[in-house]
Amino acid sequence: MKKISLSSILSQLLLLFFVIVWLIPTFGLFISSLRDKDLLAISGWWTALTTTEINEIYRMSGMEAQIEEDGYFKIKGTLFEENSGKKIESFGINSKKINEFMIGDIAIFKNESEVILDQDGNYEWRSKSEFQNKKGKRLFTTSLSPPSFTFENYREVLFKEGIGRAFVNTMAVALPSTLIPLIICSFFAYSLTWMKFFGRDTLLAIIIASLVVPLQMSLIPILSIYNDFGALFGVAAKSYPGVWMAHTGFGLASTTFLLRNFLKSLPNEMMEAAKVDGASHYDIFLRIIIPLSIPAFASIFILQFLWCWNDLLVGLVFLDQVPSEIILTAKLKELLGSRGENWEILTTGAFVSMTVPLFIFFALQRYFIRGLVAGSVKG
């Protein structure tokens, strides 16, 4: 029998609480991004699976569409797009009485023309005399819309709003910004752990000290150095290599520190055995350290990658806000200003930016946890 203690119940409840707090907004965002933009504007995502009552205004076709039939001039058409699934409950011809008529009622305009409407939105507008209206009359409909999900938002956001391009840009920033420090730091951490040289401990102390330096402090000085440097070689200061270098620099201390903690936990005798076997430092690093460090590399990759992916500040400072360089977070911020009322764009854009972290988290979560406890628990 497993013993159930108060503290374990509490911790389970706490866990449940965090799961709910995290899951509900994520789920909401996801549902919202798949909803029809009109529905999204009037009802919350939790109503997505119920039918929604919506009021809309449509204009019938004008005089060009009229045909003569059975002694009437008729204009036929449909209000809804095909397969909308909407069912009209009532309609009106006057903005003050939008629920005046039920389906099957004949609504009569002042000019004695009359209109009948079925629930799928097909209307027949007829008149004894020829229509002279250049524009059709307005119809006010109240209809029930069934739950509808669409990828339209994604198509819109990815290809029209430039989120797709921003996604690619962010990848182009985040991947090198993760791999470069990982490569540099693995060598660095190895030498800090397993090689003896003068000033090693001082170097380590400097690295630990630099962990607490906020990156905001150094953004502007670095940019100004970039400017001088760029001017020297005639290249733009703001560019991908610049942002890679910035991320690399900012990630160097923490990456080295985490990797060193991991390498420190590898048994010393194994390195000595390899040395006796005739391995040089390079052999040890390549044939023993690298294969054994895959879990550590993976977890540090995740941490650094997510950091770069979610970063806004560095991307804003070191990249121009042009379509070929703008990153996702900056793009979303821009959309928030220009398209703040188009929720379908914002929710979808936000969800697109979340897909990569979510994918990484689910695919590599065991490394994620291992990385967070790296060095504290012996594996």
Cα 20 from Cα 154, distance rounded (Å): 26
Residue type, 156: E
Among 135, 160, 287, 366, interactor with other proteins by CB under 8 A: 287
Q: Which of 73, 283, 307, 343 is close enough to bind other proteins by CB under 8 A? A: 283
Contacts of range 317-320, beta carbons closer than 8 Å, 24 or more positions apart: 317/219, 317/220, 317/223, 317/246, 318/223, 318/226, 318/238, 318/242, 318/243, 318/246, 319/169, 319/173, 319/238, 319/239, 319/240, 319/242, 319/243, 320/236, 320/238
Which CB atom, from 243 or from 271, has the smaller least distance to other proteins?
271
The number of angstroms, rounded, from the C-alpha of 313 to the middle of its chain's C-alpha atoms is 17
Stretch that binds other proteins, among 25-33, 152-160, 229-237, 287-295 (CB under 8 A): 287-295
Q: Whose Cβ is closer to other proteins: residue 272's or residue 320's? A: 272
Work out whether 201 is an interface residue with other proteins (CB under 8 A).
no
DSSP E strands in 133-288: the ranges are 138-145
Residues 250-279 that bind other proteins (CB under 8 A): 267, 269-270, 272-279
Closest approach of Cβ 208 to other proteins, in Å? 23
Q: How far apart are CA 68 and CA 75, in angstroms?
A: 9
Shorter beta-carbon distance to other proteins: residue 102 or 292: 292
- Choose among 65, 210, 43, 56: nearest CA to 142: 56
CB nearer to other proteins: give 291 or 337: 291
Q: Which stretch binds other proteins (CB under 8 A): 155-163, 174-182, 213-221, 280-288?
A: 280-288
Q: By rule CB under 8 A, what string of x and - marks binding of each residue 316-345 to other proteins?
A: ------------------------------
- Residue type at 155 in one-letter notation: R
Q: Which is nearer to other proteins, 76 or 275 (CB)?
A: 275
Shortest approach of other proteins to residue 202 CB, angstroms? 18
Residue from 13, 41, 102, 292 touching other proteins (CB under 8 A): that is 292
The residue among 67 and 276 lying less far from other proteins, judged by its C-beta, is 276
Q: Which residue has the tokens 């305009």?
A: 109
Q: Which of 116, 204, 288, 316 binds other proteins (CB under 8 A)?
A: 288
Q: Which of 296, 303, 286, 299 is nearest to 265 (CA)?
A: 296
Give the nearer residue to other proteins in terms of CB position, either 81 or 269: 269
Q: Coil, strand, or helix at residue 72?
A: strand
Reading phi first (left if > 0) and then psi (alpha if -120 to 50, else beta), residue 57 is in: beta
Smallest Cα–Cα separation from 372: which of 39, 226, 364?
364
Q: Which two tokens stand for residue 65?
A: 């569409």
Q: Contact region for other proteins (CB under 8 A) — 58-66, 80-88, 104-112, 286-294?
A: 286-294
Local structure of residue 94 (DSSP, 8 states): B
Pick the binder of other proteins from 199, 214, 221, 291 (CB under 8 A): 291
Query: What residue ranges bind other proteins (CB under 8 A)?
Result: 267, 269-270, 272-279, 283, 287-288, 291-292
